Amino acid sequence: MQPVRHFLQLRDLSPDELGYLFERTRIIKERSKSYQQYWPLQDRTLVMIFEKPSTRTRLSFEAGMYQLGGTAIYLNTRDSQLDRGEAVEDAAQVISRMCDLVMIRTFEQSMIERFAANSRVPVINGLTNDYHPCQILADIYTYIEKRGSIRGKTVAWIGDSNNVCNTWLQAAALLDFKLHVSTPPGFEVAPERLGACAASHVRSFADPMDAARGADLVTTDVWTSMGFEAENAERVRAFENWQVDAAKMAVAADDALFMHCLPAHRGEEVSADVIDGPRSVVWDEAENRLHTQKALMEFLLLNRVND
Ligand code: CP
Ligand code: NVA
């Protein structure tokens, strides 16, 4: 029997597997757009466990599973025994006997690692405090769709050193592009995360304008992620100069794109003229969550397919 494959962080897939997934996404998306029925996951069940809110992640996994012929079940931890102290290990044993695939959105990365270690079926990270790998699959697929290979390009991350930023760092190393990072003082990327990346893949900038200069893609995220709400007032003050605005887009490459994982706060991390402007691809980026995750679920359950 093949060992169970999990997707707990982006680097759980090799560069070759990521390349396969992006090509597979193109085929699955085309098929879906022309309403060709494709049900490779008929009789398969996905359980989605949420300990934090979601719009895109829930909808894209649920719709994606139905479109592949399977079934999806939504479980909020507040309504489950997990909220009353059932051990994650015990829950994993039981849940993974009742379904074929599990997606979890939670706080601690260690929770999904403990779950996966006790699961008979693949586990997907639907966002933790540390990583958001499904988001970066969609972001890079969107870049490829619009501009071709991301290899050798420059991506500017302006804002918080959060789960999405940490995943971009992994992506730069895996797919061989350069990440320019600029975060306010006190909110820097953890030195061990920066240290794990070669200088050819990451560079830090004190001034966000310098990070944006020449970038092929400028991206950001909320200043206050889920679970950090108590720091909101302090963050709004600290991040004031880290808004992606027209001035920052003006120093990026002429054909630079703007991305944001959403939900966005216009007037905070991004100005309205940028997110609603011609270089923004946020709606395609959000839609591509659906297509990339369909390719991911197919890969985790059926491995590589040729049809
Ligand atoms: N980008 C993203 O993961 O959105 P949701 O929080 O709505 O799932
Ligand atoms: N960094 C954000 C992403 C939301 C999709 C958060 O964790 O809240």
Q: What is the pTM of this model?
A: 0.98
C-alpha–C-alpha distance, residues 18 and 137, integer Å:
8
Mean pLDDT of 199-208: 96
17 pLDDT band, cuts 50/70/90, is: very high
Give the closest ligand to the alpha carbon of residue 260: 1
Please give the span between the terminal C-alpha atoms of the chain, in angstroms, as a whole number.
23
Per-residue model confidence (pLDDT) at position 6: 98
Q: What is the pLDDT of residues 237-250, one digit of tens each?
A: 999 999 999 999 99
Any atom of ligand 2 within 6 Å of the Cβ of 62: no
Mean pLDDT of 50-74: 98
Any atom of ligand 1 within 6 Å of the Cβ of 71: no
Per-residue model confidence (pLDDT) at position 1: 67
Domain architecture of the chain: domains with CATH: 10-132+288-301 (3.40.50.1370), 134-285 (3.40.50.1370)
Q: What is the pLDDT of residues 149-172, one digit of tens each?
A: 999 999 999 999 999 999 999 999
Q: What is the pLDDT of residues 279-294, one digit of tens each?
A: 999 999 999 999 999 9
Average pLDDT of the residues of the chain = 97
pLDDT at 82 over 80: yes
Mean pLDDT of 209-237: 98
How does 136-159 read in b/e, with b if 16+ C-beta sit within 10 Å? bbbbbbbbbbeeeebeebbbbbbb
Q: Which residues contact 99 (CB under 8 A, 6 or more apart)?
A: 45, 46, 47, 73, 121
Dihedral angle, C-alpha 225, 112, 289, 190, nearest 10 °: 50
Probe ligand 2: pick from 163, 228, 229, 293, max atoms within 8 Å of CB? 163
Probe ligand 1: pick from 51, 55, 103, max atoms within 8 Å of CB? 55
The percentage of residues in the chain with a pLDDT greater than 70, rounded to a whole number, is 100
